[in-house]
Amino acid sequence: MALRAAFQNDCNAIYGWQSEHAFVTCDGCEMEPIVGPRYRCQDCPDYDLCEDCYRAFVRTCEPPEGSDGDIEDEEEPFHDCEHVFVRADGAERSVRLVLSGSGDDELRMCKFLEAFPPSQATGTDLAWIQLENPAAHVAARPAQESEAAIEEDTDDPEAEMSDARVDRAAVESSHAPREGEESLDERIDSAVEEWLAYTDGRTPSNAEAVAFVRGLARKYDIRGGKWLLFTTTELVDAAWHALAQATLRGRLATVKVSSRGDDGRHALCAYVTDFLDGGRVGAVRRVLEQLSLPGVTKLLFKPDLFTYLAIRHGNPWRLRPVLWQCPYTAR
């Protein structure tokens, strides 16, 4: 399979894509997520190493050539040398290409799309395929105008599909903490704790809950969100190519597509850095409506905080699982 062959080199030196293992921390150097190959200990319940640490482990466990096997004067192994490691792939893995603004971006993106067609991706290979353009500038519409054009959502189970595959790394990259600041994980934990205290013994109305979540977003600076779109395996490659071309041209900043779900469908996401900015949210929606996205029938908008707070389809508070929904009509 071409997609699996493309993963033989997790960090492509020529075209610059790399794989990431979401939610997996290297137990050697504490890299999170692990970027590039991941090696999992077969003898421990939860022990992983990045490629550099795995090579260091192998080096310290193998006596230098010509020695008598005594490693007393060598670097001490940091893990049991009797344990066996295997290279691990799977559904926690994502592959990402970040455009650089250079003249070879179009070639790099074409090679990336060719290597990782979402129609061929399953959960045994990876979870997400992601493309970023740090130089993108999405022209915002006036907030009042854009918010008025977005309908409030009714309960929709489709939004839950993306929750099972949420990629925290996409959020982490846009909220890297400065020295002395809390990490994203710490801020999420604080927001969840406050949300659980707020909902303890009460069921807020949807309007009350949204107002409270907006307050948490401001307080803990967790402002990211995404427009969610769904299409079929037969049509996903064409839809993904349209999103990729818009990203290459700087009309979208971060987009990603999921591997095939059990129902044969794929989730596509177009990210917004601040869901509290209605102008930006509306501007990304307008870009999506100007594209031809086969198989897409509606747009759902979900703040990342909804995912972290478990506000999904069938949640115990009976809240709407997305903030906005509108029909998709390509212009």
Q: What is the pTM of this model?
A: 0.78
pLDDT 10s digits, 178-194 = 445 788 889 999 999 99
Q: Which amino acid is at 49?
A: L
**What is the separation of C-alpha 86 from the centre of its chain, rounded to a whole number of angstroms?**
25
Model confidence pLDDT, tens digit, residues 20-57: 887 788 999 988 888 888 899 999 988 999 989 999 99
pLDDT digits (tens, 9 = 90+) for 96-117: 999 988 889 999 999 999 989 9
* More confident site: 143 or 105: 105
pLDDT at 68 over 60: no
Helix (H), strand (E), coil (C) string for the chain: CHHHHHCCCCECCCCCCEEEECCCCCCCCCCCCEECCEEEECCCCCCEEEHHHHHHHHHHHCCCCCCCCCCCCCCCCCCCCCCCEEEECCCCEEEEEECCCCCCHHHHHHHHHHHCCHHHCCCCCCCEEEEECCCCCCCCCCHHHHHHCCEECCCCHHHHHHHCCCCHHHHHCCCCCCCCCCCHHHHHHHHHHHHHHHHCCCCCCHHHHHHHHHHHHHHHCCCCEEEEEEEEHHHHHHHHHHHHHHHHCCCCCEEEEECCCCCCEEEEEEEECCCCCHHHHHHHHHHHHCCCCCCCCEEEEEEHHHHHCCCCCCCCCCCCCCCEEEECCCC
pLDDT at 285 over 50: yes
pLDDT at 61: 87
226 has pLDDT over 80 = yes
With a cut of 50, say whether residue 155 has pLDDT above it: no
Among 4-13, 104-113, 242-251, 290-299, name the one with the lowest average pLDDT: 4-13
Question: What is the pLDDT of the chain when averaged over all its residues?
Answer: 83
Q: Is residue 156's pLDDT more than 60?
A: no
